């Protein structure tokens, strides 16, 4: 939501995105598939080394549920996602970088 603590727009559209760090919503100045820059100057770099799932929910995550096409709105089945497992590096001013793993995703609702 515009104005919420974690809201930011990505470079591809004017869609709203939310960012959480350690379970708390934070403000982000830039959100891309390969990284996030937070308003406090921290930067998370993501390598997108492994795609875990990609495509419309109706043919990926929800496809194994019997009768799903008759149960939920078609628009929900058309939601497109790409979910990655990435090596991640968190860089903060004045602190040593922190490296680890991240699971992150991009979700796009149909128009």
Mean pLDDT (whole number) for 21-47: 91
Beta bridge partners of 42: none
Whether 43 has a pLDDT exceeding 50, the answer reads: yes
Distance CA 93, CA 32 (A): 20
Is residue 54 within 8 Å of residue 83, measured between CB atoms?
yes
Global pTM reads 0.70
Is residue 22 within 8 Å of residue 38, measured between CB atoms?
no
Classify residue 15 by its DSSP letter. -
Beta bridge partners of 22: none
* Cβ count near 43 (within 10 Å): 16
Q: Cα 92 vs. chain centroid, distance in angstroms?
A: 20
| Residues 54-108: tens digit of each pLDDT | 999 988 888 888 888 888 888 889 999 999 999 999 999 999 999 999 998 888 8
Whether 10 has a pLDDT exceeding 90, the answer reads: no
**pLDDT score of 20:** 85
Whether 25 has a pLDDT exceeding 80, the answer reads: yes
7 or 16, which is more confident: 16
């Amino acid at each position: 939501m515009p104005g919420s603590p974690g809201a930011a727009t990505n470079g591809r559209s004017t869609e709203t995105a939310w960012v959480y760090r350690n379970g708390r919503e934070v403000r982000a100045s830039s959100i891309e598939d390969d990284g996030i820059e937070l308003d406090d100057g921290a930067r998370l770099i993501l390598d997108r080394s492994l795609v875990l799932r990609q495509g419309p929910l109706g043919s990926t995550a929800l496809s194994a549920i019997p009768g799903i096409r008759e149960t939920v709105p078609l628009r929900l089945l058309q939601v497109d996602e790409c979910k990655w497992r990435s090596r991640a590096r968190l860089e903060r001013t004045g602190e040593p970088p922190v490296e680890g793993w991240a699971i992150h995703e991009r979700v796009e609702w149909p128009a």
